[in-house]
Amino acid sequence: MAIPVRGDQSAYGRNRWLLLLGFALAAALEVLDVSIVNPVMPTMAGNLGCTTEEIGWISTAYLLANVVFLPLTDWFSRKFGLGRYVSVSIGAFVVASVFCGMSHSLGQMIFFRIIQGAAGAPLISMTQAGIAEVFPRREQNLAQGVWALCIIVAPSIAPYLGGWISDNYAWPWVFYINLPIGIVAATIVMTNYKDRAEYEASGSDLLGIGLLTIGLGSIQYVLEEGNSKDWFSNPLIVRLTWVGAIGTVLFAVWELSPFNRSPVVNLRVMRHWGFSGATIVSFISGIALYSGVFIFPIFAQAVLGFTATKSGYFMLLPGLIMGVAMMMSTVAIERGVPARDVAILGIFVCTLSMWMLGHSTPMSNESDNQIGLIVRNVGLATMLLPVMTAGVIGLDRSEVGAGASLLGLARQLGGSFGIALAASQLTRMTQFHRYHLMDRVVQGGSALSDRVDLLTGAFYSRGMDMSSARQGAERIVDLQVTRQAYTLAVNNVYILTAILFFIALPFVFLMKREHSQGPAVTH
């Protein structure tokens, strides 16, 4: 296929590889900051004087702004120039990071996290678009593969890096480390990327921007806060669900309306069946990617007894293998394997990994879980970039930038939905399994009595009085039941994700089965 690129690629020469470094660092900066703060949240809550629930807003605020601005990135890049837009965004991201580290209240932190989220929105889709402009067709797959490697490895090391900083330094350093990375990335882009003299976007679709903000912002809030507020039993969640649904529908109607001569988001790309299929698969891949990162550290600490640092370190090897698998899938596409076929293989591998992880027990050892994580990451690596590549095949040249932004939005919304689904299912299914397990324990009769008596005797022999020994024995049995119930709930989430992957498979066949000459991405 022909790669729709713009700009004079020959003008970059060897600088294209330096620009690749700048674009990759910028993209890694954005994905790193999504999860690096998670291990230090308890410490931050204490220092900022807020509750555990309130500190969750530092993630919610970031994702709210990120999701709202993601669909706008193509429009901004066409209106102000890709290089200028990316450089300013990196600068705003770094400045907001510094102020996050200097925050002395939750309100300040939330404000600067909103700026971070908005500034980070173009750092993936638009840096990928920039690579497509800078590199010739024969080098596209290699360049895109190196770029993808960076954004895959960054979230893999983020939990370990955040835990290590939490254990050895003060929490503001999870934000300050963005400073040197951002300065290098912004300097490279500003001094080497050549924006065109004329920009394409005209007019300002203020109504579209307003409806988009209201619709997606409300939906993102519901997904982030719904579980903690018991979903639709909370009046605010109910109202925002209606506002989000109505706002999103009105936004789509207005963007597709013939009366809107300068739509801020080109939704007409959805008329291409292949792109629509890729959007659905990207949404489901986001569910698997983010829910897995959310579930495993909790499972590792609650059931396997890991520390925060160890759980992050445990995910490091699967993350590095994911990067290698990403490069291998890129090489396969470059050598003529249709991207759609690679994506199909990735879906099968992801389904297998979810089935493996969905059969854990409290007695599972470390290798059992790590093998499952490695298989999962290989599947995701084999699916993510090929889906994006196959999805944009057949788009018109002017539509590819909008397509890349919408695929990123689908993946991000899928991630938010995946975390909300995982949190809700864990809560509900743990209660469900605990109820049924306790019923079986009570009916266990003499076996349960013998177990409690044995533990009571053990505690009594260590100097406890009989009443305290009995209470201690009953607490241990209760804890064992809770761990088993939680493990079963985690298994349910993984199996549900496997089912979602199976449902996604038919949508891959909507994509065109063509040999790719490189990712068709532009702005």
Tell me yes or no: is domain 1-204 CATH 1.20.1250.20.
yes
CB contact set of 506 (below 8 Å; sequence gap of 6+):
none
pLDDT in tens, 223-249: 777 777 777 888 888 898 899 889 888
Q: Where are the beta strands (DSSP E) in 417-505?
A: none
Listed by start position, the domains of the chain span: 1-204, 205-261, 270-523
Mean pLDDT of the chain: 77
CA distance readout (Å), 463 to 168, 459, 467: 39, 7, 12
Radius of gyration of the chain (CA): 24
At 401, the amino acid letter reads G
Closest Cα to residue 285, out of 24, 503, 53, 44?
A: 503
Rounded to whole angstroms, the Cα distance separating 207 from 361 reads 52
Rounded to whole angstroms, the Cα distance separating 407 from 426 reads 28
327 — pLDDT class (breaks 50, 70, 90): confident
Which token pair is 213? 């903000």
Rounded to whole angstroms, the Cα distance separating 396 from 182 reads 33
CA distance readout (Å), 413 to 66, 308, 471: 10, 26, 46
Rounded to whole angstroms, the Cα distance separating 497 from 44 reads 32
The full 3-state SS of 342-409, as one line of letters, equals HHHHHHHHHHHHHHHHCCCCCCCCHHHHHHHHHHHHHHHHHHHHHHHHHHHCCCCHHHHHHHHHHHHH
Instruction: Tell me which of 3.40.50.300, 1.20.1250.20, 3.40.800.10, 3.20.130.10 is the CATH number of domain 270-523.
Output: 1.20.1250.20
- Torsion angle of the four alpha carbons 258, 260, 264, 268, in this order, in degrees rounded to the nearest 10: 0
Q: What angle do CA 25, 29, 33 make, to 5 degrees?
A: 165
Rounded to whole angstroms, the Cα distance separating 467 from 487 reads 31
pLDDT in tens, 335-369: 778 878 888 888 888 888 888 888 877 777 677 77
Would you say residue 453 has pLDDT above 70?
no
Instruction: Count CA atoms closer than 13 A to 67's CA, side-chain side.
Output: 28
Q: Buried (b) or exposed (e) across 483-519, using 16+ Cβ within 10 A?
A: ebbbbbbbbbbbebbbebbeebeebbebbbeeebbbb
Whether 132 contacts 6, CB under 8 Å: no
Q: Tell me whether domains 1-204 and 270-523 share a fold.
A: yes
Per-residue pLDDT, 2: 34
pLDDT in tens, 97-116: 999 888 888 888 889 988 99
Whether 150 contacts 56, CB under 8 Å: no
Least confident segment among 4-13, 296-305, 373-382: 4-13
Would you say residue 373 has pLDDT above 50?
yes
* Helices and strands, counts by H and E, the chain: 21, 0
